[in-house]
A = this chain, B = another copy of it.
Amino acid sequence: MAVSLFQSAIYEAQFGDAEMSEIFSDRAEAAQMVRFERALAQIEGELGVIPKASGQAIHDGLSDVEVDLSALSKGVTSSGVAVPALVSELRSHLDPEHGQYLHWGATSQDVVDTAMVLSCAQALDVLELRLRAVIDALAAKATEYQDLVVAGRTRGQIATPITVGLRIAKWAQPLIEIEKSIPDIRARILRVQFGGASGGNTATAPHGAAIGVGLAKALGLAPAQPWHVDRSGLVHLASWLLQISVALSKYAGDLILHMRSEIREVSAGAGGGSSTMPQKSNPVGPETIRTLASLAKAAHAGIANAADTAEDRDGGQWPIEWALLPQIVIATGASLSHALVLAETLKANEAEIQAVLAANDGVMAEQVSFMLAQHMPRPEAQALVKDAAKTGKPLREALPELCAQDLDWDDLFDPQKSVAPCREIAEAIFAAR
């Protein structure tokens, strides 16, 4: 246990994400807010909303400022938000003549939301790279194992043969859909926030729209109408992150299954040992991915709840996002990192795979039944296979005994006769990128 697994000397290395944590650090948060204030002053100066000299003085004077975080902390305590304290703090670095024009016409939420969006932009860049790397790694493994027949498993039971390549492609399938959505996510999220106290830009009338456009340009964001109470974009982002986390959790769950002592068809990652049970190889990486997905789900529910704001700007729902958006981003980011290691080290154990197929030749029942239907009516074929299954003997042994016809049984039981579409499907899944 720790106050936060993502910020713990003991747990962070496994559950956290140093790169993401840097993006959401207190220091980075303060820097993004300063970036907003500097850009705001400059564009307001250019537009003549404030004296041009003051705009420039603010922009230049705060370029190297080191914000006193303890002052911000006190500000949060007294007003629930860091911005008024930040503004005071920044003014202390400026000539009062210019400092009076700092934060001109903005509301705290303009600053905090835009800072959040700037952090999200960085996080999205990281996530995009990792997502691509995971899909690439899975694609390579799917190709490597494109013809390796394995027992398909459905509902806890061995079903029909597929290929290892198809299974891997199916793990990638949701990730590929999710990857395609990245431009949409960026378009929906990377928007400047500038609306003033009640979101009507009354304090800077009639320049609000122009300031917003200028700010957006300076910060590399899209211009937007004030979205203080439209948090649908954040729900959209959170859902996208959740989709990644859940897709990886499915993949991790399958790995845990296929790495079980009784199956061992694949190995991936470095197994965690046990001091007293040397035979064990605990699936540490996949377990962590599943843990992180649960954390992402919990965070998602809170973020969706936060979107139900009150009034023209809200005070109680908004900080839920401050708390949980970093959580879901970090959980998802860390999950992708673990997933990449597992994808790159994924190894199919052909001997075990073959042993399972041999010990469970019921896996061929469907194929045999369909192929038998070329020699007799389908109901008869199905009945024959069912009867063979009831004998308790391997199908390959029982069927010829029960069947009056003389057929090429080795051919009927050859899984390669039916798995060709698996390769096609796997290729088509990756071709959709």
Contacts and interface: CB of A to CB of B under 8 A. Distances in A.
Interface string A158-173: 1111110011001001
A94 interface: no
Nearest to A177: B232
B157 A261 contact: yes
A254 interface: yes
B242 A312 contact: no
B160 A197 contact: yes
Interface string A217-250: 0000000011101111101101100110011011
A389 interface: yes
Contacts of A204: 421
A122 interface: no
A293 interface: yes
B304 A154 contact: no
A155 B311 contact: yes
Interface stretch (A40-48, A74-82, A129-137): A74-82
Interface in A316-353: 316-317, 319-327, 330
Contact of A72 (B10, B16, B301): B10
Contact of A177 (B178, B188, B305): B188
Contacts of A201: 421-422, 425
Contacts of A173: 225, 227, 229-230
Nearest to A234: B243
Given A152-B197, A305-B294, A382 B276 contact: yes
Q: 7 tightest A-B contacts by CB? A: A279-B362, A152-B198, A239-B239, A155-B315, A298-B302, A4-B4, A202-B418
B309 A250 contact: yes
B250 A310 contact: yes
17 contacts: A11-B26, A79-B274, A155-B287, A158-B280, A162-B198, A170-B230, A173-B225, A201-B425, A225-B432, A249-B308, A276-B369, A277-B365, A277-B366, A278-B365, A294-B317, A298-B305, A301-B301
Nearest to A371: B203
B360 A288 contact: no
A15 interface: yes
A282 interface: yes
Contacts of A5: 319, 322-323
A229 to B, nearest CB: 6
A63 interface: no
B313 A155 contact: yes
A70 B14 CA distance: 12
B277 A159 contact: yes
B306 A13 contact: no
Contacts of A274: 79, 84, 159, 197
B9 A26 contact: yes
> Which of A161, A310, A330 has the largest number of chain B CB atoms within 10 A?
A310
A254 B298 CA distance: 24
Contacts of A319: 5, 15, 287-288, 291
A290 B225 CA distance: 26
Contacts of A184: 184
Contact of A225 (B14, B25, B367, B425): B425
A1 B326 contact: yes
A311 B170 CA distance: 10
Nearest to A81: B272
Interface string A198-222: 1111111110110000000000000
A262 B158 contact: yes
B307 A246 contact: yes
B276 A197 contact: yes
